[in-house]
Amino acid sequence: MPRLNDELTVAKGDGRITARMKSLARVELLILDDWRLQPLDGNARHHLLEFLEDRYGQRSTLVTSQLPVARWHQRINDPTYADAILDRLVHNAHRLELEGESMCRPATPTAA
């Protein structure tokens, strides 16, 4: 997600935003990793809503996040956009919440 936000900002500046948004809409499975580690700014909110709207009911979107779902609304940083974005993500969604230690952390060796 952080890189996608940066890429869309650059694309807007150099005139490629329309083509990039169409490309995101066509991908069969879009994986949004590290969802909402940071609050969204106005451009990022708008772009996210636009490509989720284009994908809604047409293509699959997978979201991974270490942030609890209950805090997603707050991190979108605008109640109206948050409602619209989360409606498109949560409606018809399959949700899996994992518990336990992160698999990214190396296992501590056991004493022999």
Q: Rounded to an integer, what distance in angstroms lies between the CA atom of residue 18 and that of residue 11?
A: 8
Q: Rounded to an integer, what distance in angstroms lies between the CA atom of residue 105 and that of residue 92?
A: 32
Q: Which domain holds residue 14?
A: 2-90
Start-to-end CA span in the chain (Å)? 42
Q: With 60 as the cut, is the pLDDT of residue 82 above it? A: yes
46 within domain boundaries? yes
Q: Rounded to an integer, what distance in angstroms lies between the CA atom of residue 112 and that of residue 105?
A: 21
74 within domain boundaries? yes
Express each pLDDT in 96-109 by its tens digit. Answer: 887 877 666 666 66
Percent of the chain with pLDDT over 70: 88
Total domains in the fold of the chain: 1
